[in-house]
Amino acid sequence: MRPRKSQDTDKPEWLQKSDELFQPVWKALWSSIQNNELSLQLNPLPIEALRFIVYSLGYSDDANRNGRHAICMAMLRQSVEAISVVELGLTRHASREKQLQLWQDRKCSPGALRGWLEKNTWKTYGPGIWNESWAQFMGHFAKSVQPYAHFSPDLILWQEAFFGFSPGRGGWQGMAMTGNDCYDPQKASRITLFHSILFYVLARLLVENSSGARQDLKNDVASFGDALGRSEYLFGNRTNWEHAFLGMMWRKDGSTLFE
């Protein structure tokens, strides 16, 4: 994931906020995760989890620019699960080493790990982006890419470029294109939004688990969350926004929704 060039214009507010926070958040995040104070055996795990996320965002960004949108969604699904391991490197909960050891020993599934975090850390984090609980927000976040855990008809839809519906003979007709590297500007924009949501989650975990986090950084991260909540793609809806990352999206009149 790279900051966009300064000459980019007409960027949505959430992307502007993401770009502004790019350098300070990643710098502080790497510093915190490398000083995780875990035992010698467990110390590398959160670091490798964060490195996996960084690599995935970078490759996903390149794939997205080249129209390989389905590949992006498959990689991002894995990145969401890696966040839980990163969080165990940031929190200072007394039982985090035990939980991380269970995960390393294959005795704690990704779902069970999220359940432990919900019970032991998330209740202290405050609201998500619409004043819903952090647990509710993270639940929708995980569900948004759950359909892409396997190769499926849902994932195939991300390989097609969709251009909306228009009135035709006998009713409404949709237009889509398939083939090598079918770039769909709306899909590309929504994937960039998901990159930003993932980045926001990491930024929130950083400031929620760092007693020394600057107040201005906390304020900027909160403002970033507010901007994400105003994205048209998320419907302004705290109850089912994960549907924003289905393969196809259009307005009620059949036109393409683009932000």
Q: What pLDDT digit, counting tens, does each position of 48-86 carry?
A: 999 999 999 999 999 999 999 999 999 999 999 999 999
Is residue 38 pLDDT above 90, yes or no? Answer: yes
Output the pLDDT for position 258.
Answer: 65
**What's the structural domain count of the chain?**
1
Rounded to 5 degrees, what are φ and ψ at 221?
-65, -40
Q: Which domain holds residue 68?
A: 13-162+177-245
Q: Does residue 2 fall inside a structural domain? A: no
If you average pLDDT over residues 211-223, what whole number do you get?
88
Is residue 6 pLDDT above 70, yes or no? Answer: no
Output the pLDDT for position 52.
Answer: 97
Output the pLDDT for position 152.
Answer: 93
Tell me the residue type at 244: A
Q: By three-state DSSP, how is residue 177 classified?
A: strand
pTM above 0.95, yes or no: no
Rounded to 5 degrees, what are φ and ψ at 8?
-60, 135
Q: Does residue 169 fall inside a structural domain? A: no
Instruction: Read off the pLDDT of residues 95-150 as tens digits, 9 standing for 90 and up.
Output: 999 999 999 999 999 999 999 999 999 999 999 999 899 999 999 999 999 999 99
Distance CA 95, CA 87 (A): 13
Read off the DSSP letter of residue 239.
S
Q: By three-state DSSP, how is residue 125 classified?
A: coil
Q: What is the band of 4 on the pLDDT scale with cuts at 50, 70, 90?
A: very low
Q: Does residue 123 fall inside a structural domain? A: yes
Instruction: Read off the pLDDT of residues 227-241 as tens digits, 9 standing for 90 and up.
Output: 999 998 988 777 788
Q: Does residue 8 fall inside a structural domain? A: no
166 forms bridges with which residues in the sheet? 173
DSSP3 helix / strand / coil % (the chain, rounded to 5): 60, 5, 30
Q: Does residue 122 fall inside a structural domain? A: yes
Question: Which residue is it, tokens 């502004």?
Answer: 20
Q: Does residue 80 fall inside a structural domain? A: yes
